[in-house]
Structure 1
């Protein structure tokens, strides 16, 4: 039976997921629906046999909701990184969720972030650790997560808290190259897009109901050491970090229980395999 997968918005990560869903060896027979604000992207999606819908948060949802009945709905709309006032964003995402539930969506997957734990702890954080958001973006994600939890009697949902995303065409070392930066002893928490796609496919195929999952690598080196190695491997000027020799500090995202629940062995458990 064909499975409807509705993805909003259809950006970098969704592109990898869409390619996996529509590949000849996909474990899921999928009809993929994606939203974008770009006319050019709509044309590109049509060529890939993806049903494209032009949509931005705050728009009327009636056309989008035509595809929601019995669908898996993936919400992947990150707020602007520099935004400090996100009440409007939060309320628009919540309204979108409510409309999807009213349209009898089967399963909501909310792509969240490990930044919900803040940046002031040195603890190892599991899926049951309490959020401590510090930024406007993190607070918005927590509010949306809490709203989903309040709907658990009406809809199945899964929250995926992702660590920093890395891919073959995206590595933080490129933006850090040649810069002078503080806190080289801070631990890193990264996840490769290939492992994220595996996680999403597993959740789509066998829904993890009303729960929160972590997707993160198993190792957490100091960023001063890691990004120097990465820059060298990528033939980039090395970043210069202070405090790299100091004792390692910062949060550690433990995703072991989530990978086990999904029956996945991450291909990129070691961040040194990501560049």
Structure 2
């Protein structure tokens, strides 16, 4: 039985762990919350309290990684000044966290790493964005994600696949909840780039099953209506106040392509979820 360690059993990591257990994997899962340990254990996950800091890491990290072949890193940067133009504002906190983690990966049984990143590494580039597009982040989190991606990819002790998700949605998570009733919203005709939790989990499962390592994948549903069209429709479906968009046309026409995922993983998105 292949063992996988999932660093970060949160909104995505927890249901991912449960799905992989159903598929016959043994799962080590981490949380930073003491109360959540029993929740993970009840779901059949071997739970560990792991706090990854910029200057230290929990003692449990070695046991958490022990005997696992694959490590999935699913922890968000959570930077306070996410839109800062200066990386010094956050002192490269997220980058340093991963740097602290790497020596433990190197001396563990881990041979493959899947790093959950974000299409924010592309910034507000226009046009069709593929894996060949050079990252050009314009937020602090995007900048640090880009650095971390490179650090992991260049490490010769393990193989790393980078999985860049677009805007995450699910039954309990949708941006229309925050946009409902707001006025003068920008970029009305900009295309949406979203991915549902169920597709996220299924894509990760496909990467593992097909052993697609040393790769980069962009993940966004092949469904790109305008922001105004999409969020107006979703607000009405949920009985929310319809958001009002500015009449100023958008310059941003970024469309994230997932054609590589569809081809290399033979993957079909569940478009009914969008």
Instruction: Give the alignment's TM-score, normalised by structure 2.
Output: 0.90
Matches within 5 A, 1:82-93: 82-84=80-82, 85=90, 87-93=92-98
CA distance in 2, matches of 1:223, 1:53: 40
Q: Over aligned residue pairs, what C-alpha RMSD do you find?
A: 1.7
Residue 60 (1) aligns with residue 64 (2): no
Deviation of the 1:97 alpha carbon: 2.6
- Which runs of 4 or more aligned residues in structure 1 lie more than 6 Å from their structure 2 counterparts after TM superposition? none
Aligned residue number for residue 244 of structure 2: 240
1:103-145 deviation digits (Å, cap 9, x = unpaired): 13111000000000002x2221111110001111000100001
Aligned residue number for residue 115 of structure 2: 110
Contact 1:222–1:248 at 8 Å: present in 2 too? no
CA distance in 1, matches of 2:93, 2:18: 32
Aligned residue number for residue 74 of structure 1: 72
- Match of residue 267, structure 1, among 262, 267, 270: 270
Aligned residue number for residue 150 of structure 1: 154
Aligned residue number for residue 251 of structure 1: 254
**Structure 1: gaps of 5 or more residues:** none
Deviation of the 1:188 alpha carbon: 1.0
10-19 vs 133-142, greater mean Cα deviation: 10-19
Between the two proteins, the alignment pairs up a number of residues equal to: 263
Aligned residue number for residue 138 of structure 1: 142
SS at structure 1 position matched to 2:71: strand
Change over 3 Å in CA distance of 1:68–1:216 after alignment to 2: farther
- Match of residue 42, structure 1, among 37, 43, 49: 37
**Structure 2: gaps of 5 or more residues:** 83-89
Change over 3 Å in CA distance of 1:82–1:184 after alignment to 2: farther
1:193-251 deviation digits (Å, cap 9, x = unpaired): 1111110111122321211011111121110111000111111111111137x367321
Change over 3 Å in CA distance of 1:44–1:198 after alignment to 2: same
Aligned residue number for residue 176 of structure 1: 179
